[in-house]
């Protein structure tokens, strides 16, 4: 008996010790578990990384900056049918449980016994609250420990947050595939819609995705995707969220999604959006821009941007066409699978109608081709075949790009040349359009803001503006006659020449700029001083690195299309330098304005209206030239278009001005033009700065691009007369109304210093001709040209004047 009692006591002690040990283990595990748990109260202020969305001035979405593509929306902004779809699919008892759904957990545990036995992943049973805990506070590992933590945290979340707050976190945080975080981003990426535009079947598809977005990818697994969507619709009907009739109708609809997620439907502003991103990063920092959920309104005008892209692309293609066919981009022997190789050809995505094709047969200018995408065949346009055969005979197997055209195919070629176009509002500096190259997909280098190039004769207006700021007027006379300077290449003298290699005697400032006279410009620059020209150019924003060399007066310094175009704005807006900008307004995710480009103060703008005069804002910018000088320049540059080197743009009508520019050896071609409300810079050149080819002047390539763009721009912003300065004096000179500063209207040619005119039987052109004949060993011309009259005889004017750095 005693032995039995002893064993009973020992057994009791052992049992108690075992219970104590188990309790201690449980306590240690619980202490470890609770110690490792994050604080659920932190979710009250949780802000997930949210995309910054970028909009044009008219509200068009043009881009997005983000690490994770998420559009944060409050619970009140989420339509009821979207909430119901997710509740039906994920947690129909959400509003009745306390964070853990015991019945659902029991079903999941039974299923997971089988999963554990077969080595499958544990799944199921998690409520929406538990998913929030897992997605936001825990890792995605599958383990008993994580499930226990998930349950504890879910209970804490329910005690900390309201049900709508938990749903808001869930519907904004969850990953739904197609690069989409949250339901708002998913609605846009899958369907191109906002949440309130979704139909019940579309909402059901989004609710089908949390269990495995890749498994239900609508393009790779369309049957599985539609099947899962239809299952969710059934769950919605069983939960009473839709009727049986609505269920039948929704299941009957096909699942139609976008081919791929896109940051914006509008796709013509890649260069502009990327430049805005760079500037936003510089101001706010990459972290804030990519995760802060900012609303960013830019200055972009989508209609003008599309017009700019189309005009530049067409201009570059026209240049490319003038310089011939360069050959196929690849070849094929038509072996099995050749179509896949052909479809790898990189075409500009902006040219959506272009198709990869292979040449099947060639008989003279009859060229038969086969498209790689659908196998259809046809012939090239005879003119295109002749164009290609003139440079390199087309051959069977050549891989080319074609575009359907009237039952045949047009031959297409990606230009090797590139360029830029930038359009700015001169009164404010708002950048209305920017195209930095032929195709952003082929080259993201932004030639509008990053390409430093010599502007050639497009710089000359700053020389003339410096003169007009001094003692000169538009009617002042400057001699167009030979001139040379020491310090040329190889110890020789530098002798600038006009494009025509002829000289025209005494000319007015107006005529010298309208016809882009090199020698007049150099002579004028020598008279007014290169230091003064460089100083004014810096003040106007052309460049910060110009040197006071005479060659700079002909455009030998470097600048970008962006800066040069902005500098021209002062000629239109009354002489003020305005800083160009792309970002108009930025608000944080709470709607607070954190940046506004227009920082001018309006003292009386907040006063109630009681019949007083409207408040007046000071004009933007800094005054850099006299308003009379600005008007004189806009008038002279209008003459460039009406009767000078930019005359091919004359069809745009009155009150349109500008200046052509072509650099030495035709390396770059420019035109900066304007009306009263827009200034536009066009640049064409190769990225390696090689010559464009003989005759490729500013008038040949850029002016047609400008003209095409302005045909759209002037419909939105009709040209108006340039604003006449109040204190200017107006007189008619040679049939043109000129503006003068008071007191200068009587001082014309005598006001400008005139070098001594050479005397003798020959004029300037005879002298130069005689020198060239002697240098070439030829006998002198038999008949001398008569000496020049006071007004030189009329000559056929050249189409364009090079910068003359010979």
3-state secondary structure (DSSP) of residue 178: coil
Rounded Cα distance between 644 and 589, Å, is: 53
Q: 512 near 522, Cβ under 8 Å?
A: no
Q: Alpha carbon 505 to chain centroid distance?
A: 47
Rounded Cα distance between 151 and 99, Å, is: 7
Give, in degrees to the nearest 5, the angle at Cα 152 between 148 and 157: 140
- Which residue, 557, 576, 553, is CA-closest to 568? 576
**Structure tokens, 20:** 């104590």
DSSP-assigned beta bridge partners for residue 517 = none
Rounded Cα distance between 728 and 631, Å, is: 9
Rounded Cα distance between 66 and 291, Å, is: 6
**Structure tokens, 324:** 């011939």
Q: 286 near 277, Cβ under 8 Å?
A: no
Rounded Cα distance between 743 and 732, Å, is: 15
- Which residue, 29, 49, 47, 45, is CA-closest to 152? 29
| Strand ranges for 354-502 from DSSP E | 355-363, 366-371, 377-379, 398-405, 408-412, 418-424, 431-435, 477-480
List the catalytic residues.
90, 457
Rounded Cα distance between 676 and 267, Å, is: 29
**Structure tokens, 323:** 């310089």
Q: Which residues does 503 contact at the CB level (< 8 Å), separation at least 6? A: 480, 481, 482, 519, 763, 764, 765, 768
Q: Which residues does 555 contact at the CB level (< 8 Å), separation at least 6? A: 454, 455, 456, 457, 458, 459, 460, 661, 663, 803
């Amino acid at each position: 008996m005693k032995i039995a009692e002893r064993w009973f006591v020992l057994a009791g002690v052992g049992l108690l010790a075992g219970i104590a040990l188990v309790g201690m283990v449980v306590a240690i595990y619980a202490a470890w578990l609770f110690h490792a748990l994050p604080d659920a109260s932190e979710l009250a202020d949780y802000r997930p990384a949210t995309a910054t969305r970028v909009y044009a001035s008219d509200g068009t979405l043009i881009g997005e900056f983000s690490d994770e593509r998420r559009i944060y929306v409050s619970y009140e902004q989420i339509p009821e049918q979207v909430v119901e779809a997710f509740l039906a699919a994920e947690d129909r008892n959400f509003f009745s449980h306390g964070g853990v759904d015991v019945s659902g957990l029991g079903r999941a545990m039974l299923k997971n016994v089988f999963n554990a036995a077969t080595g499958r992943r544990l799944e199921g049973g998690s409520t929406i609250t538990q998913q929030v805990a897992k997605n936001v506070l825990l890792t995605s590992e599958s383990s008993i420990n994580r499930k226990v933590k998930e349950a504890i945290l879910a209970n804490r979340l329910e005690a900390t947050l309201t049900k709508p707050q938990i749903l808001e976190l869930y519907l904004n945080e969850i990953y739904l595939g197609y690069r989409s975080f949250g339901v708002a981003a998913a609605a846009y990426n899958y369907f191109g819609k906002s949440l309130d535009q979704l139909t019940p079947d579309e909402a059901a598809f989004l609710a089908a995705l949390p269990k495995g977005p890749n498994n239900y990818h609508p393009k790779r697994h369309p049957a599985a995707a539609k099947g899962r969507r239809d299952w969710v619709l059934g769950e919605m009907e069983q939960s009473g969220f839709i009727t049986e009739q609505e269920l039948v109708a929704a299941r009957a609809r096909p699942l139609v999604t976008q081919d791929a997620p896109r940051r914006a439907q509008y796709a013509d502003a890649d260069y502009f959006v990327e430049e805005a991103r760079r500037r936003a990063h510089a101001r706010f920092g990459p972290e804030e821009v990519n995760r802060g959920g900012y609303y960013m309104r830019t200055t972009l005008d989508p209609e003008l941007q599309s017009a700019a892209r189309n005009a530049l692309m067409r201009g570059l293609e026209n240049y490319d066409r003038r310089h011939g066919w360069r050959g196929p981009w690849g070849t094929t022997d038509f072996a099995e699978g050749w179509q896949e190789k052909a479809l790898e050809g990189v075409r500009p995505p902006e040219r959506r109608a272009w198709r990869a094709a292979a040449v099947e047969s060639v008989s003279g200018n009859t060229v038969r081709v086969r498209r790689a995408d659908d196998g259809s065949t046809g012939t090239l346009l005879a003119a295109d075949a002749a164009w290609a055969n003139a440079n390199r005979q087309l051959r069977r197997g050549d891989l080319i790009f074609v575009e359907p055209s009237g039952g045949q195919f047009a031959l297409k070629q990606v230009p090797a040349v590139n360029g830029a176009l930038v359009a700015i509002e001169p009164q404010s500096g708002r950048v209305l359009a920017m195209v930095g190259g032929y195709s952003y997909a082929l080259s993201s280098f932004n030639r509008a803001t990053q390409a430093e190039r010599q502007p050639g004769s497009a710089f000359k207006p700053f020389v003339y503006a410096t003169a007009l700021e001094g003692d000169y007027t538009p009617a002042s006379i400057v001699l167009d006659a030979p001139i040379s300077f020491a310090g040329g290449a190889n110890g020789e003298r530098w002798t600038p020449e006009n494009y025509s290699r002829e000289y025209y005697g005494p000319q007015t400032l107006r005529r010298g700029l309208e016809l882009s006279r090199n020698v007049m410009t150099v002579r004028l620059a020598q008279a007014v001083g290169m230091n003064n020209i460089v100083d004014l150019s810096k003040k106007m924003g052309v460049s910060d690195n110009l040197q006071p060399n005479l060659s700079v007066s002909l455009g030998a310094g470097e600048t970008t299309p962006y800066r040069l175009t902005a500098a021209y704005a002062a000629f239109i807006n009354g002489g003020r330098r305005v800083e160009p900008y792309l970002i108009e307004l930025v608000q944080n995710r709470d709607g607070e304005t954190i940046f506004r480009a227009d920082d001018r103060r309006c003292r009386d703008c907040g006063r109630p209206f009681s019949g007083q005069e409207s408040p007046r804002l000071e004009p933007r910018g800094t005054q850099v030239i006299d308003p009379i000088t600005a008007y004189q320049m806009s008038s002279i540059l209008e003459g460039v278009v009406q009767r000078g080197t930019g005359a091919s743009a004359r069809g745009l009508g009155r009150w349109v001005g500008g200046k052509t520019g072509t650099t030495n050896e035709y390396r770059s071609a420019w035109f900066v033009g304007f009306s009263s409300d827009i200034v536009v810079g066009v640049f064409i050149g190769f990225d390696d700065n090689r010559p464009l080819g003989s005759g490729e002047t500013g008038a040949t390539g850029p002016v047609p691009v400008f003209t095409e763009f302005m045909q759209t721009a002037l419909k939105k912003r009709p040209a108006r007369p340039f604003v006449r300065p109040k204190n200017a004096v107006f007189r008619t000179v040679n049939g043109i109304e000129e503006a003068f500063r008071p007191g200068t209207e009587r001082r014309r040619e005598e006001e400008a210093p005139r070098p001594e005119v050479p005397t003798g039987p020959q004029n300037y052109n005879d002298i130069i001709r005689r020198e060239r004949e002697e240098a070439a060993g030829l006998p002198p011309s038999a008949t001398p040209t008569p000496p020049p009259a006071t007004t030189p005889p009329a000559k056929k004017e050249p189409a364009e004047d090079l910068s003359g750095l010979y």
